[in-house]
Amino acid sequence: MKRRDFLKSGIALAAITTLNPWTSLFGKEKKLNDELRRSDFGADFLWGVATAAYQIEGAYQEDGKGLSIWDTFSNTKGKIKTGENGNIATDFYHLYEQDIALLKQMNIPNFRFSIAWSRVLPKGVGEVNKKGLEFYHKVIDACLERGIEPWITLYHWDLPQALEDKGGWINREVIQWFKEYVTLCIREFKGKVKNWMIMNEPTAFTALGYMLGIHAPGKKGIDKFLKASHHTALALAEGGRTIRELFPQANIGSTFSCSYIEPLKPKNKHQKAAARIEAVMNKFFLEAVLGRGYPIQDFPALKRIKKFMLPGDEDKLKFDLDFVGLQNYTREVVKYSLFRPVIWANQVKPQKRGVETTEMGWEVYPESVYQMLKIYASYPEIPKIIITESGASFPDKLEDSKIHDEKRKKYLQDVLKQVLRAKKEGVPVQGYFIWTFTDNFEWAEGFRPRFGLVYVDFQSQKRYIKDSGKWFAEFLSK
């Protein structure tokens, strides 16, 4: 997850086991914000929560699972700010029944989760781990038994370490490796799961993992980033074609991180700087899959990617998605900078602008989602938009088995008002998934940032519904 500082480089409730009755659990939370009603969004609008395998599952060496790049990275000294790892995470591998029962209790009708590639294919290709497949069958069945629709993300950053040892996303063979993995998943689960997301935020995992080195696998360099990015873009499209071939009825999308980009001042040099940042952060993968190619016209330095392209690659980048997953958390204000070669731009940090921030240091700016929805709607190639991640991390304090997270609740309400604003203006936005369901392992940040609607005591693994979760549950009940 989420708004990462790409600009650094210049490229850039008591415990659930109690399960109190509804009236006792939610009590006075039944008073809803009169200005915001579920019915305003329409009967077909999708509501859900999003998670990722590495951030919740744990059981990193159980039942035949192979290591992923995040297993290796988080267990390497100095890589995670808090010195923690995701070996146990929220122990979803063992507590999935409890968590899915909680989803039902909270009226959440759609659950987005990912498959850990190395749990089903320990070496990335070849021998299949049947116990891994059995686990995901159990998760899917637990959802369906409770009337919860599963939405599966095929790749959420956890490349098998065995494939990284062969070059990972820098090795062009990864396109075929990914196709083999996608083929296995679709053939195994297509009888139960209709909704598929090919990849999660390709800009993030390529830039952070193969250029800045602050996420797994920890590599650095512009050429590493561009080569990994091109192979990722090709694999994304090939993954989509594979799903379409094996399961024509599937609802296929992919998710893209984005921030609303604004120049510091309406001066030409700042506007051009903002356009370059926009090209990398928002347009790069999106426009490639839409068939527009890479946004070299907005950022000429990106033309270096052409040396990694083979004849015919440009056509192979395109795939007709059924929906685009928009993932937005904040905006970025940028200015021209002589001290950031290549991109000649820099972020004006929210702290220097004196604005409110989340615990991640991101500006609290709900209107960002409205602005990005309008921008996505300007692409005629996008048939529909689903907000597949949206949320905020604020400090949470457990007091008498309660968490009064008023800032998160207000943030979600304010964001939803912006979504409704865009919808009323004709933007084809058809769903909203909150990041995230439970607090989890937040990548290189460790366990400190909490984004969940549900608080997790990571020592006892007990769950407590936060006030924001109670509000959302009541909102969904109307």
Active site residues: 201, 389
**151/192 Cα distance (integer angstroms):** 10
DSSP, res 200: E
CA atoms of 406 and 388, how far apart (whole Å): 23
Element (H or E) spanning 347, and its range? strand 345-347
Separation between Cα atoms, residue 381 and residue 322, nearest integer Å: 10
* Cβ neighbours for 370, distance < 8 A, ≥ 6 positions apart: 418, 419, 421, 422
Separation CA 141–CA 123 (nearest Å): 26
Within the chain, what is the greatest distance between any pair of CA atoms? 64
Cα 370 to Cα 421: distance, rounded to the nearest angstrom: 7
Q: How far apart are CA 268 and CA 250, in angstroms?
A: 45
Smallest CA-to-CA distance from 401 within 472, 466, 470, 468 is with: 466
Helix-, strand-, coil-residue percentages of the chain, each rounded to 5: 40, 15, 40
For 383, phi then psi, to 5°, come to -75, -40
The H-assigned helical ranges of 259-301 are 268-278, 284-289
**Which residues, in sequence order, are bridge partners of residue 114?**
153
What contacts 333, CB < 8 A, 6 or more positions away? 262, 263, 264, 347, 348, 353
Residues 6+ apart with CB under 8 A from 164: 69, 72, 217
